[in-house]
Amino acid sequence: MNERVILLVEDNADDEALTLRALKKNNITNTIVVARNGVEALDYLFGTGQYAGRDTSVQPELILLDLKLPKVDGFEVLKKLRADERTKLLAVVILTSSTEQQDIVNGYGLGANSYVRKPVDFQHFMDAVRQLGLYWLVLNERPFAGLRNGR
């Protein structure tokens, strides 16, 4: 396992299983941390609640964020993490069922890096995950990457 973390924020157990499957099938070997609602996601990012004491200088390489979540929804998570120095530069891909214009506009407005609709056809979903992995984990240059590698 690769210690660079992907944070998957997803409340639907089926979607979680399918996303994990798609990541595995595409040979994406990063550690996957799953948060099942917005509160869990924020706890992980800021080292609070069940993640109290976590080293928050280590942050996920990529956040796959669902929008409709119990307790605190995806937009709220996005807003909070963009407002915090520790997390404001993280790569966030909204991965959701909705293609409502309002959601897409809100998502980008709050600083999402990408917006992807989960396709129903699993082959298409596999394809989307493969491309996301390739782009965000390989091609794309992130800030701090050199810093972390040197550590």
Partner 1 sequence: MGEGKLGKRNLTDRLLWAGLAAAIVAAVAIGWNADKDAHESYAWNNWVSHTQSVLDALDDAQENSLAALSSIQNYYQSGDLKNLDSVSNSISKLEHQSVVLRSLTGDNASQQNRLDRIDRIERRMTVLSENIIRSAPAFSQPQSLRAPEAAGLSTAVYQLFVQLYQMSAVERRLLTERTARARATSRQSTTALEIGGSIVFLWLLIVGGYAFLTTRRLTDIAKALAVSEVARVTERKRVADDLRALSDSERRYATQLEVVNKELEAFSYSVSHDLRAPLRSIDGFSSALMEDYADKLDEQANSHLRRIRAAAQRMAQLIDDLLKLAFVTRSEMRTEAVDLSAMANVILAECQTAEPLRQVECVVQDRIMGQGDPHLLRLVLENLLGNAWKFTGKTQQAKIEFATADQDGQAVYFVRDNGAGFDMTYAEKLFGAFQRLHAAADFPGVGVGLATVQRIVRRHGGRVSAQAAEGQGATFSFTLEVNHGGQQ
The DSSP secondary structure of 87-100, one letter per residue, reads TTT--EEEEES---
Look at residue 102 and give its three-state secondary structure: helix
Q: Which stretch binds partner 1 (CB under 8 A): 9-17, 32-40, 80-88, 138-146?
A: 9-17
For partner 1, give the closer residue by CB, 60 or 74.
74
Site for partner 1 in 44-73 (CB under 8 A): 68
Q: Which stretch binds partner 1 (CB under 8 A): 39-47, 72-80, 94-102, 108-116?
A: 94-102
Both tokens of 35, joined, read 């948060």
Edge to edge, what strands does the sheet with 114-117 contain? 30-35, 2-9, 62-65, 92-96, 114-117
Distance CA(85)–CA(73), nearest Å, equals: 21
Both tokens of 63, joined, read 């956040």
Quick note: the x/- pattern for partner 1 over 104-133, rule CB under 8 A, is --------------xxxxxx-x--------
Q: Which stretch binds partner 1 (CB under 8 A): 15-23, 40-48, 81-89, 135-143?
A: 15-23
Q: Look at residues 45, 1, 3, 27 and name the one whose alpha carbon lies nearest to residue 149.
A: 3
For partner 1, give the closer residue by CB, 4 or 130.
130
> From the list 4, 12, 89, 111, which residue makes contact with partner 1 (rule: CB under 8 A)?
12
Instruction: Kindly list the residues in this chain that would bind partner 1 in the complex (CB under 8 A).
Output: 12, 14-15, 17-18, 21, 68, 96-100, 102-103, 118-123, 125
